[in-house]
Amino acid sequence: MEITVNGERLEYSGQPTLSELFSYLGIDLTTVAVERNLRIIPRNRIENEPIDPGDAFEIIRLVGGG
């Protein structure tokens, strides 16, 4: 299926959940905020959030500093 991640089109054929997509991309779920089709996904739903063809995701990495 084709999806968009941070403005880049991606052909993804894995299991249709965000946790599987993030594993495929090498992204730690605990260090990001995720928007799916212009809606923020609550942290408690990220792991099992479904992916549908044509979805657009924005993934924001959280960093600390001071």
Provide the 10 A C-beta neighbour count for residue 21. Answer: 22
What confidence score (pLDDT) does residue 4 get?
Answer: 97
In this prediction, residues 24-49 reach a mean pLDDT of 91
Average pLDDT, the chain: 91
47 pLDDT tier (thresholds 50, 70, 90)? confident
- Tell me the CA end-to-end span of the chain in Å, nearest whole number: 40
- Residue 14: which pLDDT band, with cuts at 50, 70 and 90? confident
pLDDT beyond 70 at 66 = no
User: What architecture is the 2-61 domain classified under in CATH?
Assistant: Roll (3.10)
Q: What is the pLDDT of residue 29?
A: 86
